[in-house]
Structure 1
């Protein structure tokens, strides 16, 4: 199975730490990051898709992707 996650957060170092943590756990960047302005909060928001090949795992909607 290839797992897919879209990691989002405000444009702070916390976002970069979340991406770095995912990469350190074997996730791979998928595409380019995206940025957008959140008018409600008045901040820039970031998003980055990541994928991970998990050959011994079958997909289930109950799967906790962040735990892979």
Structure 2
């Protein structure tokens, strides 16, 4: 992404519970996001799916 101003303040990442999902969350943390609440986990009959909300604080 470009400048920080282009990043949304809130986002939810979802996907299979695998290393790729962990890397996506880690990249968001590196961009200045913070975890918002606990992850949600469900099973879709084939694999475990995870969702994690993230927020990015703005200087007021």
- Give the TM-score range, shorter chain: 0.7 to 0.9
Pairwise CA distance, 1:53: 2.2
SS class of match (2:21)? helix
Question: Which position in structure 2 is the counterpart of 1:15?
Answer: 21
2:39 corresponds to which residue?
A: 33
Q: 2:49 aligns with which of 31, 45, 48?
A: 45
- Where is the strand percentage greater, Structure 1 or Structure 2? 1
| Runs of 4+, deviation exceeding 6 Å | none
Choose 1 or 2 for highest CA Rg.
1
What is the CA RMSD across the aligned residues, in angstroms? Answer: 1.8
How many matched pairs? Answer: 53
Taking structure 1 as the reference length, what is the TM-score of the superposition? 0.70
Could you list the runs of 5+ residues in structure 2 that have no partner in the other structure? 1-7
Unaligned runs of 5+ in 1: 56-68
How much does 1:54 deviate?
3.7
Q: CA deviation at 1:3?
A: 1.3
